Amino acid sequence: MDITFPYNLFTFLDMKMNSNLTWVVLIILTIASALVSKLNSHYVVLIILVFSSLKFLGIAFQFMELKKAHLFWKAMIVSFLVIFVTSIALVI
Amino acid sequence: MNNTIIDYKNIYYPPGGILIWIIIFLELITFGAALIAMAYYGNQEQELFHDSSLKLNKTYGMINTIFLLTSGFLMAISVSEIKKGNTKKFNKLLLLTMLFGLFFLGLKSLEYYDKIADGIGIGYNTFFTFYWMLTLFHVIHVIVGLVILTSVYFGVRKENSKTSIDDVEASAAFWHMCDLIWILLFPIIYLLF
C-alpha cells in the first residue's frame, strides 16, 4: 500500500470552505430546479438535467473527494453522467 | 484510531477504497438503467405520466433533497474532522448526519402514508410502479447507510478503536452514494414529467 500523509491544517480549512460553498450551491440548485419545473418551456427538461448534473458532480468531486482521486475515477464518473443525461434527453 | 492515510492518486485507492467504488458504479448503473426505462415509458404514455406526476408532492421531494444534501455535507465535514484527529467533533457531526438521514426517512414515510391513503399502490399504473420500486430501493439503501454509520459511530467511540480512516471513508462514500442516487431520482420522478 502506498502510504503518505498529504494532510495539514491548510488543506483542512480549504476543504471545509469548499464543502460549505458546495452545500450552498447544491441547495440553490435544488430550489431552482423545483421552480424551473413549473415553467412552460421546451428548455425545462434540459435546464433540470443540467442542474442535476452539476449537483451530481458537486457531491462526487467535493463531498466524496473524487477531486483528489486518480484521473481514471474522475473520467469514470463523468462518463457515467454524460451517458445517463444524454440517454434521458434522447428518450424523454 | 488508525490515522494511516492513503495516496488517493493511486488508481487502486480512490477515497473510500476501490471496493466501495465498484459498488457505487454498479448501483449507479442499476438505478440509471431503471430511470432511463422510466423515461422511455414516460415518452410512450406521456399523458398518464404527466397526470401521475401531478399526484406527487414536489415540496416533499425538494425538502427531502435538502435533508439528504445537508446530511452529505455534514458527513463530508465530519470526515475532515476525524482526519484532523478531532474524534469528539466527528462523533457530533456524525450524529447530525444520521439525524438528517432520519428526517429524510420520516418525510418519506409521510409521503408513502399519503399515497397509500389515496389508494396509490405499486400496481396503480406504470408511473407509480417505477415510483414505488425506485424510491423504496433507495430507502433501503438509506436504511443500510444509517446502520453502517451507527456501527462507525460506536466503533470510533471505543477506547483502543480499531476503526481506521479507511473504514470511515468507505462508510462516508456509501452514504454519499445515497445522495448521488437521489440526485438522479428526484428530477426524473418529481420534476420532468
Contact across the interface for B58 and A37, Cβ inside 8 Å: yes
| CA–CA dist B63, B104 (Å, integer) | 8
Convert the pLDDT of each residue in B68-86 to its tens digit: 999 999 999 999 999 888 8
Q: What is the mean pLDDT of chain A?
A: 85
**A6 is a domain residue:** no
**A4 is a domain residue:** no
Decide: residue B124, CB within 10 A, 0-12 exposed, 13-18 middle, 19+ buried: middle
Q: Which residues pair with B2 in a beta bridge?
A: B164
How many domains in chain A?
1
Contact across the interface for A63 and B73, Cβ inside 8 Å: yes
Asked whether the predicted pLDDT for residue B118 surpasses 90, the reply is yes
**A7 is a domain residue:** no
- Here the ipTM equals 0.90
Average pLDDT for B116-123: 93
Q: What is the distance in angstroms between the Cα of A23 and the nearest Cα belonging to chain B?
A: 6
How many domains in chain B?
1
Q: What is the mean pLDDT of chain B?
A: 93
B113: domain CATH number? Answer: 1.20.120.80
**B179 is a domain residue:** yes
> Within an 8 Å CB–CB cutoff, is residue A43 touching chain B?
no
Q: In this predicted model, which residue has the larger pLDDT, B7 or B145? A: B145
Short-list A78, A68, A32, CA closest to B11: A68
Pairs of residues, one from chain A and one from chain B, whose beta carbons lie less than 8 Å apart? 146
Asked whether the predicted pLDDT for residue A8 surpasses 70, the reply is no
For residue B27, what are the domain limits?
A: 18-191
Closest CB to A48 among B80, B83, B192: B192
Convert the pLDDT of each residue in A47-76 to its tens digit: 999 999 999 999 999 999 999 899 999 999
Question: Quick count: other Cβ atoms within 10 Å of Cβ A41?
Answer: 9
Q: What is the distance in angstroms between the Cα of B59 and the nearest Cα belonging to chain A?
A: 8
